Structure 1
Amino acid sequence: MNEASRGISSQLIVKVVVAIAVVCFIVFLSVQFGQYLSLDELAKQESRLKEFQQQRPLVFVGLAFFAYVVVTGLSLPGAAALTMVYGWYFGLLPGVLLVSFASTTGATLAFTLSRYLFRDSIEQRFGNRLESFRENLDREGAFYLFTLRLIPLVPFFVINVVMGLTQMKVWTFWWVSQIGMLAGTFLYVFAGASVPSLQNLAENGINSVFSSEQLTQIVIAMGLLGLFPFLAKKAISWYRGGEKQPSETTDSR
């Protein structure tokens, strides 16, 4: 067996071991805490959470906002899943409003920390990308950041920290990110909002998820999430092509 085959085999063994460990952990949780993880019990917890929100709405929304800022600002994993959870809990329009401003605030926090506290370590880690970012910024300006936000080809946390080492102003980074991330935020929140509440599931069973209306919403949400990067990329390519055409015509003369 050659070295490449041994490497692949080792990776496969590690993945299998991790998968078995995860399954065992889930089984352990089910055995030990099954009574607390039942649908009825989770629905009760959801109801208590709703009561707290009604009693202290500003505190509740503030905590939700702060939690999202921490996740995005510290580049913790799970922002996409948290976005869908907020959509599921708060609903479409409130969820979009909350996540939109919280995500931009967190991204700006990461941008600022990168610029003033972690510059050296980030330059060492992303030095090659930094030069590419600077060249594209010099050529396209803030529109380059907008395209990165619109087309999620580069991880958001990389955009946040690398942009912090460029000459871009904090205000420019904030408002371009706010607009550029809005479409993606809407789609993720819409996907979460298409899932019924736990109370609905507890009362009507799993059939409430598989109703024709619910299935239609879920299929639309998943389809839009899958198609959006492709459509956004095509739109940006079309815009750039149209933008270059006048100069090309002038040069031909």
Structure 2
Amino acid sequence: MDKEDETGRGRLLRYGALVLIAAVAITGAVLLRDQLTFEALAANRDDLIAFRDRNYLSAAAGFVFAYALIVAFSLPGATIATLTGGFLFGVFPGVFLNVVGATLGATAIFTAAKWGLGAQLAARMDASEGLVRRLKQGIDRNMWEVLFLIRLVPAVPFFVANIVPALVGVRLLPFVVTTFLGIMPGALVFTSVGNGLGAVFERGGRPDLSILFEPQILLPIIGLCALALLPIILKSVRGTKGV
């Protein structure tokens, strides 16, 4: 087989994976936007509880798989899925199932993006000059800290935090470890909210998701962000002194 044909086929496969993810994401946004909602969870809560009680392990495995698919294809409903994890399985092991599902899904989309475009873009950034190259070098020097930060800061969209590391050449292991640990605080908060949904359903209300921005919740997360920033600041100060 001609090497050029092989290269072309490999490029087609790489781009095809990204196109597939984008197509499923768009289709899911259109078809599922009214399905993966709080109202849908409230309407089906009795059936979900009954299935969990009959098939606990299957329910847990199926939940993790469904959560991973939602994240991998950027489908609507990730927040509802997290609440569902707390509602069905309690804070523990609910938070563990939520984090595992989210990490698996994030790893899938990270791998697809890295395979499709990440390696090429990272190589171009290394070969470029000026700001782009300095940005890439800064991420390389502070990889773990930066990855933790983008997971801890609530303002960074989850999809962005999955894609950007792939496009700048981040390795798989740091991505998986920082994803698993970095999303834990937020997942714990929302899983706890989900654990209390029974009472919310009884009074016909809706969960208060703004709890993440309450001082008693937000301040510890800000503290973790500060800890992640500290090594970056120290490296910067040492580098300046060495100049």
By the TM > 0.5 criterion, same fold? yes
Further displaced range: 45-54 or 79-88: 45-54
Deviates more, 1:52-61 or 1:151-160: 52-61
* Partner Cα separation in structure 1 for residue 135 and residue 199 of structure 2: 42
How big is the alpha-carbon RMSD for the aligned residues of Structure 1 and Structure 2? 3.9
1:106-136 Cα shifts (integer Å, max 9, x gaps) = 111110011113559x99xxxxxx8786344
Alignment of 1:1-253 (within 5 A): 42=43, 46-117=45-116, 119=118, 134-196=136-198, 201=202, 206=203, 222-227=210-215, 228-229=217-218, 231-233=220-222, 235-237=224-226, 240=229, 244=234, 247=237, 251=241
State TM-score, norm by structure 2.
Answer: 0.64
Alpha-carbon spacing, 1:95–1:131, altered in 2? closer, same or farther (3 Å): farther
Q: How many residues align?
A: 193
Render the CA deviation track for 1:69-94: whole Å, top value 9, x for unaligned. Answer: 01111112221222112212221112
| Counterpart Cα distance in 2 of 1:67 and 1:118 | 26
Percent identity of equivalent pairs: 24
Residues 91 and 192, structure 2, Cα contact 8 Å, conserved in 1: yes
Whether the 8 Å CA contact 1:89–1:197 is kept in 2: the answer is no
Matched-pair contact (CA < 8 Å) for 1:188–1:225:
no
The 1:238–1:57 alpha-carbon spacing in structure 2 relative to 1, beyond 3 Å, is closer
Indicate how the Cα distance of structure 1 residues 76 and 226 shifts in structure 2: closer, same or farther if over 3 A, else same: farther
Q: Secondary structure of the equivalent of 2:197?
A: coil
Moved more, 110-119 or 131-140: 131-140
**Against the structure 1 CA distance between its residues 48 and 191, is the aligned structure 2 distance closer, same or farther, given a 3 Å change threshold?**
closer
1:133–1:81 Cα change, 3 Å? farther
Change (3 A) 1:140 1:101: same
Equivalent residue of 1:164, what SS? helix
On the 8 A contact 2:118/2:169 being kept in 1, the answer is no
In the alignment, the residues of structure 2 paired with residue 71 and residue 132 of structure 1 have an alpha-carbon distance, to the nearest angstrom, of 34
Q: Which amino acid aligns with 1:142?
A: W
TM-score normalised by L of structure 1: 0.61
Residue 169 to residue 94, structure 1, CA distance change in 2 (3 Å): same
- Inter-partner Cα distance in structure 2 for 1:132 and 1:77: 35
Q: Mind listing any 5+ residue stretches in structure 1 that lack a counterpart?
A: 1-25, 27-36, 124-129, 210-217
